[in-house]
Amino acid sequence: MVRNTAGKYVHGNIYVNYGKLDLLFVPFLAEPAAEGLDFLARLAGWGEMDLDLKEESVILNGMTRAGNPENMFLATLSGQSPVRIELPGIMPSGINGFIHLGISDKELFVEQMKTYLAGIGSWSGIESEINRIENAYGIRPLDDLIDIMDDEVAWFSVEGLTADPSEEVMVMETGSRSETREVILNWINRYLEENTFEMQAYLNVYRLDDQTSFEIYRLPEPFFEGTLPGKFFNNYFTVLENHLLSGPSVEVLSRVIYQNILRKTFINDPVFEEMSGYLSNRGSLSIFIRPYPYLDYRKRILDDDANATLGSMELFLRRIPGIIIQYSTEEDLLYSSISFRYTSQIREKALTVWESLLDSVAVIKPELVLNHNTSENEIFVQDATGRIYLINSAGRIIWSRRLEEEIMGEIHQIDFYRNNKLQYLFNTRGKLYLVDRNGNDVERYPVTLRSPATNPMALFDYDNNDGYRIFIAGEDRGIYVYDLEGNIVPGWRFGNTEGVVSKKIQHFRIGNQDYIVAADNRRTYFLDRRGRERISTGERVVISPNNHLILDMNIREEQPRWISTDTAGNVIAIYQNGSVSSLYSQEVTPGHYFRMQDMDMDGIPEYIFADGNELAVLKQGGERVFGFSVRERISSPPDIYKFSSSEVKIGLTDQPRNRIYLVNSDGSLYDGFPLEGSTRFSIGNFEGSGSRFNLIVGSANNFLYNYSIE
The pLDDT-based confidence of 1 (bands split at 50, 70, 90) is low
Q: pTM for the whole thing?
A: 0.86
Which of the two residues, 429 and 466, has the higher pLDDT score?
A: 429
Kindly report which listed range (54-63, 342-351, 470-479) carries the lowest average pLDDT score.
342-351
Q: Is the pLDDT of residue 554 over 90?
A: no
The pLDDT-based confidence of 558 (bands split at 50, 70, 90) is confident
3-state secondary structure of 88: helix
pLDDT, tens digit, for every residue of 436-493? 999 999 999 999 999 999 999 999 998 888 889 999 999 999 999 999 999 999 999 9
Which residues, at least 6 apart from 602, have a Cβ–Cβ distance to it below 8 Å? none
Helices 177-194, 141-148: inter-axial angle, 10-degree rounding: 170
CA angle 228, 232, 233 (to 5 degrees): 105
Q: Does the residue 280 lie in any domain?
A: yes
Q: Does the residue 293 lie in any domain?
A: yes
Q: Does the residue 18 lie in any domain?
A: yes
Q: Does the residue 335 lie in any domain?
A: yes
CA-based end-to-end distance of the chain: 65
**Helix (H), strand (E) at residue 253:** helix 250-261
* DSSP character string of 355-382: EEE-SS-B-SPPEEEE-TTT--EEEEEE
Q: Does the residue 347 lie in any domain?
A: no
Cα distances from 115 to residues 3, 11, 120, 334, in angstroms, run: 28, 39, 9, 19
Amino acid at position 396, single letter: R
Among residues 685, 687, 688, which one has the least CA distance to residue 707? Answer: 685
Q: Tell me how far apart the alpha carbons of residues 706 and 358 are, in angstroms, rounded to a whole number.
A: 13
Beta bridge partners of 47: 16, 64
The pLDDT-based confidence of 611 (bands split at 50, 70, 90) is very high
CA angle 75, 79, 81 (to 5 degrees): 115
Domain encompassing residue 312: 3-166+259-341
Q: Does the residue 37 lie in any domain?
A: yes
Answer for the pair 539, 496: CB distance below 8 angstroms, yes or no.
Answer: no
Q: Does the residue 322 lie in any domain?
A: yes
pLDDT > 70: percent of the chain: 96
3-state secondary structure of 24: helix
Kindly report which listed range (361-370, 577-586, 682-691) carries the lowest average pLDDT score.
682-691
Q: Is the pLDDT of residue 433 over 70?
A: yes
Q: Tell me how far apart the alpha carbons of residues 614 and 654 are, in angstroms, rounded to a whole number.
A: 11
Q: Does the residue 279 lie in any domain?
A: yes
Which residues, at least 6 apart from 202, have a Cβ–Cβ distance to it below 8 Å? 188, 192, 217, 218, 219, 220
Answer for the pair 565, 575: CB distance below 8 angstroms, yes or no.
Answer: no
Q: Tell me how far apart the alpha carbons of residues 407 and 422 are, in angstroms, rounded to a whole number.
A: 19
Q: Tell me how far apart the alpha carbons of residues 382 and 16 are, in angstroms, rounded to a whole number.
A: 53
Report the pLDDT value the prediction gives residue 3, as an integer from 0 to 100.
Answer: 62
Report the pLDDT value the prediction gives residue 689, as an integer from 0 to 100.
Answer: 67
Query: Mean pLDDT over residues 117-129, rounded?
Result: 92
Q: Based on the structure, what is the number of domains in the chain? A: 1
The answer, yes or no, to whether the previous bond of 590 is cis (omega within 30 of 0) is no
Among residues 684, 683, 688, which one has the least CA distance to residue 374? Answer: 688
Cα distances from 671 to residues 183, 661, 678, 708, in angstroms, run: 51, 10, 19, 12
Q: Tell me how far apart the alpha carbons of residues 103 and 110 are, in angstroms, rounded to a whole number.
A: 10
